[in-house]
Copies of this chain bind each other. A is one copy, B any other.
């Protein structure tokens, strides 16, 4: 059962006022070729062009700047092998406080460099949920730092919701908005933002078929955190949390999936036709749109592109 407070639309607006001076107002792009292929009118909110290369800076910045002076003083800590770690590092640097990111020893070199580049300390742990949770507990015990969870946190969710808020400001009368779901922070904030700013807009979550725990949880009506997570979309291997599960159940229209091949094909389409760099997780919504044409045809659809942090030496279509 969830005991955390559910963020409101007002929390998202307050988050936007709080973080706006520090983040990019990312552009909304369109692409005639992808409109033709999908039969829909697609509006891409380019959070891959956001600071630290991902929407995660929104939630991390809102969380860090929502802390009282007392809570902020020892610094902030989290576990992340991905964009949340880099985002928290940057947000802490902006506030002038320390940050520690717990990372598995086998995390990619590029992710380690990013976190260190923003000035955070890395503490390594063994791979696996238990090891990282235990290591984070030890870090907090030693430092008294405040933990900023990657997604199961009301301030983080309110921050992530500001991407949809901007999209709905820039594009009127969207029939639907679609965003990927991993831990569920972004899609939760998106659902709350749509309900507040444009109640007629349907909210779809996009998930890899190979890591479909959110879809199974949504359809079963209970939180399922087990199952396969063997997907190229490395940002979406996480399961929902108690808070994000509750928000998604109340505010998401449906969760749809795409296969690995569909994800890689969609990623390449975005690179080739839109000339922007997206990571595999970021391509899942377009993959879902192209895999479920009946759902989206003839509709005006906002697509949140989540991140562009990818190893340029190891592209999935390289020979």
A interface with B by C-beta (< 8 Å): 24, 27, 29-30, 32, 48-49, 51, 53, 268, 271-272, 274-278, 308-309, 312-313, 315, 317-319
Residues in B with CB closer than 8 Å to A53 are 275
Shortest A317–chain B CB gap in Å is 7
Which of B30, B51, B313, B315 is A312 in contact with, Cβ under 8 Å? Answer: B315
Task: Decide if B275 touches A308 in the complex (CB within 8 Å).
Answer: yes
Shortest A60–chain B CB gap in Å is 16
Residues in B with CB closer than 8 Å to A32 are 51
Task: Decide if B51 touches A271 in the complex (CB within 8 Å).
Answer: no
Residues in B with CB closer than 8 Å to A309 are 275
Closest 5 pairs (CB-CB, A-B): A275-B308, A27-B27, A275-B277, A48-B275, A276-B276
Task: Decide if A49 touches B272 in the complex (CB within 8 Å).
Answer: no
Shortest A96–chain B CB gap in Å is 17
Which of B49, B308, B313 is A319 in contact with, Cβ under 8 Å? Answer: B313
Closest to A279 in B: B275
CA distance A309 to B271 in the complex (A): 10
CA distance A270 to B108 in the complex (A): 21
Which of B276, B278, B313 is A49 in contact with, Cβ under 8 Å? Answer: B276
Task: Decide if A313 touches B317 in the complex (CB within 8 Å).
Answer: yes
- Sample of 7 A–B contacts (CB below 8 Å): A49-B274, A49-B276, A271-B277, A275-B277, A275-B309, A312-B315, A313-B319
CA distance A36 to B295 in the complex (A): 45
Task: Decide if A275 touches B49 in the complex (CB within 8 Å).
Answer: yes
Residue in A24, A272, A309 with the greatest tally of chain B CB atoms within 10 Å: A272
Residues in B with CB closer than 8 Å to A278 are 275
